[in-house]
A and B are shown apart, each in its own frame.
Chain A
Amino acid sequence: MTNFMGNNSSLRDRFMNKSGDGGKEMAYTVVGKSVRKVDAVAKVTGKAMYTDDFFERDMLVGKILHSPYAHALITTIDVSRAKALPGVEAVLTYKDLPRISYATSLPGMIGADLDDNEDLERIKIGTAGHPYSLDPAHRDVEDRHILTKKARFVGDAIAAVVATDDLIAEKALKLIDVKYEVLEALTSTKAALREGAPLIHEGCEGNILASGGFTIGDVEEAFKESDHIFEGEYETSIVQHCHLENQTSYAYQDPDGRIVIVTSTQIPQIVRRIVAQALGIPWGRVRVIKPFVGGGFGNKQDVCIEPLNAAMTLAVGGRPVKIELAREECMIDTRTRHAFQFKIKTGINQDGKINGIHISAISNTGAYASHGHSIASSAGGKFRFLYPTKALKFDPITVYTNLPVAGAMRAYGCPQLFYAFESHLEDIAKRLDMDPIEIRSKNLVEVGYVDPISKTKVMSCGIRECIEKGKALIKWDKKKALYREQSGEKLRGLGMACFSYSSGTYPVALELAGARIVLNQDGSIQLQIGATDTGQGSDTALGQMVAEVLSLPMDMVHVLSTQDTDISPFDTGCYASRQTYVSGMAVEKAALEVKGKILSFAASMTDIPVDRLDLLEQKIVYKHSGESVLTLEQVAMQSYYDRVLAKPITSDVSNNARINAIPFGVTFAEVEVDIKTGKIKVLEIYNVHDSGTIVNPKMAEGQVQGGVSMGIGYALSEQLLFDEVTGKPLNNNLLDYKLPTMMDMPDIGVAFVETHESTGPFGVKSLGEPPTITPAPAIRNAVLDATGVAFNRLPMNPQRVFEGLKEAGLI
């Protein structure tokens, strides 16, 4: 039994026009309106404070020495010259970090070499931003030291300096004398999987971090029953989040010796846990504060610099130390998106009905596990909801290589998997001479489908309506006919691709969210949530939900944007597109509790039975007539100052969402390919989403446009490149890494099909990550339509397109 349904269903019914079709028309007054983002003015005026905007007196600077080798053992490391440089306060290497046997609650031990035996095992951590699991088997792989004795990629943190300023710190880094025994760099999954390849992590045979997916039905049997079998291979590249604000944090010890870390993160509670684990200290001795954040896209759903930052402050007696990564560092020593290679085999009937699908995948996780195999697993789990088949087999493996660490990135494996499958399905449609929309329509999911593995039920599904809308927006039929006969140097084509996703991680992981509301004297409220707004607008969306329940204008809803692990309600943070859905449940629950208390208090003031009262536009009204009884402000004042009854009205709730909801959507793209230069231009692109109720259409539109632009970069230009022999990054800067600019973007069309998701607060499903899933396959399919050439590797940059067109004889 999920704890958020039933108990307030009657209330939810009141918000819905039950005579309407499936509750699609709702009488919400704030939810569904494009109210101004609560932090809009603070951000455009520059008043919003980000981590780098805070100053502590005499703040020191921390800098990191990164390995120049992709795979090497440190044979000696001598920091004496660095330490001797005036202005250097501390130099740290692996030798200074806590050993497992010394795990202690005593801060101040960092840098004090307590034991001569250097080889004693140091504490290792898993860095992924997942909720802790009480089941040890379900925890992330712990394979990383804060500073390492064995470098596993170019950029691996070897040593660190704390100094009075940047330049001194930089100079000190150059004075650290390190001798390496260089090992073979495994710069591809192929090299890492080669028999006899050196092991990147001791004891991890074959460099395989993990393997295994799932099986539904019997694919071999399904293939036997099929009229056709098709096979295809697809490959995606390593890309990076390129969040505007690089990782930045500062740390100090408060007067009680606790470690305080202010950091740009999506997951303050998880940062707290992992820092404590990394140092072997009780979790309560760490406090993490998240101010405004300049984007994360999953990169900050990981713990990158905070444990080192904590070690740095301990090494200088608790003085404040700041770490601010440069873009070049951020692009290699935070996280990237896993590159995948897919082999797909599909059995299908002549009429386009799919019988069975077998997807094999190799995922390149780089040098450390981070989110590791979860990326592949999760992508498979989300894919299951789009085209249910009798048989589906998914068997991914996740492989270590000597490349930067891959972690979470917007849509968590789905852009890779949907690029592969939606390309594959397009190839099948072409071979069967079927319309791409028709073949998909034959296989799409229906409402009521229950996934046999997660047991999640599809309660709402607007994918067909999304396709119809997108098709009309791009004028599919008209243009298809128009482009049938074309010649010349520039060819046009149309493509589309569909996706399914989820709203949070249930049942894989815990989906806990907290909310706290305080009614102020003037009838306004403060909303505190553990959910973190990292730019996407969750503070506003959650604020709108409170305004809706309490019938308040938005200027009476004060959302506290900062999360502080000492103060904020517990929530695991911003990832998995979970907050509007999962944290929204907690917020709705907290608001309903406050509403109940307000009405009860009003009842005690008026002697009118509570069930006759309602809250409307800051007034207590008779339910039957709407006649005003008291103002909300009167109730609030009384709740603070009545000499007998005073008891300020608050709520403080937690919600464990043991349910999930499946959003759907589609991208339609029109491209023009310059066949002489290989340049692809996206002329038009539309994303149409079924995310249930859209809480704030303007914000949602922005969310989609951002996701689509990320998808366009993924399709056409972005890739992190490395020297094949040495593993050295070739383009870890924004000049050479081709993140598209505004000038490269077409107008991005956005539309919604608003279903009502009965499991979600106010009928919502997720929207955060989905927009970035299908632009790449839609563009790829449009290029296929234009040129007849199938590009099965991302990105489709001019060099690749030139090669492909040349091979096809078009150049």
Chain B
Amino acid sequence: MYDISGYYEAETVAEATALLAKNPNLRLIAGGTDVLIKMHSGQIADAELLSLRKIKSLNTIRKAEDGTIVIGAMATFTKVFNDPILREMIPILTEAAISMGGPQIRNIATIGGNVCNGATSADSASSLFALNAQLKLEGHQGERLVPIRKFYLGPGKVALQPGEILTEILIAPDDYQGFGGQYIKFAMREAMDIATLAVAVVCKLQAKTFAEVRIGLGVAGPTPLRCLEAEEYAKGQEISAQTVAEIGKLAVNSAKARTSWRASKDYREHLVEELVQRALKKAIVNAGGEELV
């Protein structure tokens, strides 16, 4: 039994933002796989919920004319995984989607909800970080675009202003075209688990060198993060096992790992170094490069 004192459903974004403006206590609910768990554990009580599930426009995934990939915030993980555009263009996101929970959870959980929950372990987050995703936030007064790296403020804290709703996730053509990528979720189980470390790497090659490398990490700090030092180093470097090893080492500098009962700092940093290398090696092949031995 959940402690729900009110429940509203909107059919359009405008209707939803209007309801939010009128009643700032409303809490948004998408798939409910995070909100209801918080209610079960007593973190949220006496809730007035505003459901977004009837807003059809938030459910689509498309490629805009300029090549921008537009993912509706209410797209479920199952939908993300099965979407032919995403599979072809940004498989690191579809691979992240299928790594999440189990089939029942993926059928109801949404990518927007996953991002707005603000967890460092959000399965979609490291890929969206590596892809430089932009988030479209709409409120009663208008809309704005926020880069995902600016959206995560701390554990469970995101840059959503009161009255705002995340409506779309956008990935610009420059950020994915010509890139190869790889996603690795390292967890204690092969399903139904939270990542010990999530690594998403994309790279673009130029002859025998790295034109660009972007590395997104989940659960390597209080929020998902990027390994900017390693990325900066990679630019223009020769594609070699040595370079990849150095990128792995430098990635550790950006991680903010700490010891908890789940894993030690030492082990987490070792995983960052190892898995960034593994992901990058695959990403090179996916970007058209030769396999490093």
Interface residue ranges, A against B (CB under 8 Å): 165-167, 170, 326, 328, 676-678, 717, 721, 730-731, 734-736, 738, 740-744, 797-799, 802-803, 811
Contacts and interface: CB of A to CB of B under 8 A. Distances in A.
Main secondary structure of the interface of A (DSSP, over half): loop
A676 B193 CA distance: 21
10 contacts: A170-B42, A677-B274, A717-B189, A736-B262, A738-B188, A741-B193, A744-B189, A744-B190, A798-B188, A798-B196
B32 to A, nearest CB: 16
B274 to A, nearest CB: 5
B264 A799 contact: yes
Given A166-B1, A735-B193, 6 more contacts: A677-B274, A678-B267, A717-B188, A736-B262, A799-B263, A802-B267
Interface of B: 1, 3, 40-42, 102, 186, 188-194, 196, 261-264, 267, 270-271, 274-275
Contacts of A717: 188-189
Contacts of A678: 267
B270 A802 contact: yes
B88 to A, nearest CB: 26
B189 A743 contact: yes
Contact of A799 (B189, B267, B275): B267
Contacts, number: 54
B19 to A, nearest CB: 25
A741 B192 contact: yes
What are the 8 closest A-B residue pairs judged by CB atoms, nearest first? Answer: A743-B190, A166-B1, A743-B191, A738-B188, A741-B191, A676-B274, A744-B190, A802-B267
Given A677-B274, A802-B267, A802-B270, A735 B194 contact: yes
Contacts of B186: 677
Contacts of A811: 270
B189 A738 contact: yes
Nearest to B196: A798
Nearest to A674: B274
Contact of A741 (B190, B264, B267, B274): B190
B115 to A, nearest CB: 19
Contacts of A328: 41
Contact of B3 (A167, A676, A677, A798): A167
B1 A167 contact: yes
Nearest to B273: A676
Interface centre among B42, B189, B190 (most CB of A within 10 A): B189
A305 B186 CA distance: 39
B189 A677 contact: no
Contacts of B1: 165-167
A678 B40 CA distance: 35
A551 to B, nearest CB: 46
Contacts of B193: 735, 738, 741
B104 to A, nearest CB: 13
A145 B99 CA distance: 46
B271 A677 contact: yes
Contacts of B188: 717, 738, 797-798
A332 to B, nearest CB: 14
Contacts of B191: 741-744
Contacts of A736: 194, 262
Interface centre among B40, B263, B267 (most CB of A within 10 A): B267
Contacts of A797: 188
Interface centre among A677, A731, A740 (most CB of B within 10 A): A677
A597 B196 CA distance: 66
